[in-house]
Amino acid sequence: MERLQKILAEAGYGSRRKVEKLIIEGVVTVNGQVAELGQKASRFDDIRVKGEKIILQRKVYYLLNKPEGYLCTLHDPFNRPKVTDLVPQEPRVFPVGRLDADTTGALLLTNDGQLSNHLLHPRYHVEKTYLVKVSGRVKPEDIRKLEKGIMLEDGMTLPAKAEVKKSTRDWTLVSLTITEGRKRQVKRMMKALGYPVLALHRERFGPLDVDDLKLGEFRNLTQSEIKSLRGSVRH
């Protein structure tokens, strides 16, 4: 017997938080009975979500170089483009974390709910590296502030790695590596210093980079990359 949340996550129904929401909403049944949060079940039970019987599928791991205009969601009421439109539809996968529609770059999609939870949990410090193009010329003292931590409305950020890659009179390109996953964190950090973000691209997620992928392209992770990704979750 295993926790129902784990089984649903492995079946591709999203992160632990998302599958818990499904259970709370009462749309999950086990052998014809409405499931309860914390319930255990067997993989041989008749488990259904909104009447659809779940299928435990092989685990897949895709690295996508996300283009602009695509949403990191499984469902959109306005039928806008989604990142899941760019990868195979079976087995069902979900994005690990979110990138804004106007943000490009490295995005992992998988049906491995346990790995996804670890990569997103705040207790684990998985590095994410961004190229940030901002308006204005970034001052050296502001780079040092990024490296020490920035006070945002939800608290002080952890120290980041920051480096100016290119600078003109009108804009600056900054490489910024963070280990948190707060909502719109990079944009808020730069805005707090007075630099509006003009463009944002995630170069690297943990040990993975998209140097070999054009925007909109994806590839399967190798076994060594999957092992390396698991190893990036520091306990």
State the CATH number of the domain containing residue 26.
3.10.290.10
Do 108 and 163 belong together in one domain?
A: no
Contact 88, 218 (CB under 8 A): no
Do 142 and 175 belong together in one domain?
A: yes
* 187 CA to centre of own chain: 16
Do 108 and 177 belong together in one domain?
A: no
Do 200 and 212 belong together in one domain?
A: no
Using DSSP bridges, classify how beta strands 171-178 and 128-135 pair: parallel, antiparallel or unpaired.
Answer: antiparallel
Whole-number Å distance between alpha carbons of 54 and 8: 8
Do 83 and 98 belong together in one domain?
A: yes
pLDDT digits over 189-226, tens only? Answer: 999 999 999 999 999 999 999 999 999 999 999 999 99
Q: Which of 203, 219, 223, 226 is nearest to 99 (CA)?
A: 203
Do 201 and 213 belong together in one domain?
A: no
User: H/E element holding 190?
Assistant: helix 185-192
Q: How confident is the model at residue 234 (pLDDT cuts 50, 70, 90)?
A: low
96: domain CATH number is 3.30.70.580
Whole-number Å distance between alpha carbons of 153 and 92: 36
Q: What is the pLDDT of residue 187?
A: 98
Cis peptide preceding 91, ω within 30 of 0: yes
Q: What is the pLDDT of residue 230?
A: 87
Whole-number Å distance between alpha carbons of 2 and 121: 21
Do 136 and 200 belong together in one domain?
A: yes
Please name every residue paired with 109 in a beta bridge, in sequence order, or none if there are none: 62, 95
Whole-number Å distance between alpha carbons of 101 and 72: 8
Domain extent for 80? 61-122+208-231
Contact 210, 65 (CB under 8 A): yes
Please name every residue paired with 171 in a beta bridge, in sequence order, or none if there are none: 135
pLDDT digits over 49-81, tens only? Answer: 999 998 777 889 999 999 999 999 988 899 999
Q: Which of 207, 139, 214, 219 is nearest to 172 (CA)?
A: 139
Whole-number Å distance between alpha carbons of 86 and 218: 8
Domain count for the chain, please give it. 3
Do 69 and 106 belong together in one domain?
A: yes
162: domain CATH number is 3.30.70.1560
Token pair, residue 227, equals 């092992």
pLDDT at 114 exceeding the cut of 70: yes
Whole-number Å distance between alpha carbons of 30 and 36: 9
Do 136 and 84 belong together in one domain?
A: no
> Rounded to two decimals, what is the model's pTM?
0.79
Do 201 and 134 belong together in one domain?
A: yes
Do 105 and 150 belong together in one domain?
A: no
Q: Which of 173, 71, 89 is nearest to 131 (CA)?
A: 173
Whole-number Å distance between alpha carbons of 220 and 42: 30
State the CB neighbour count (10 A cutoff) for residue 54: 19
Do 115 and 217 belong together in one domain?
A: yes
Active site residues: 100
Token pair, residue 51, equals 């009447």
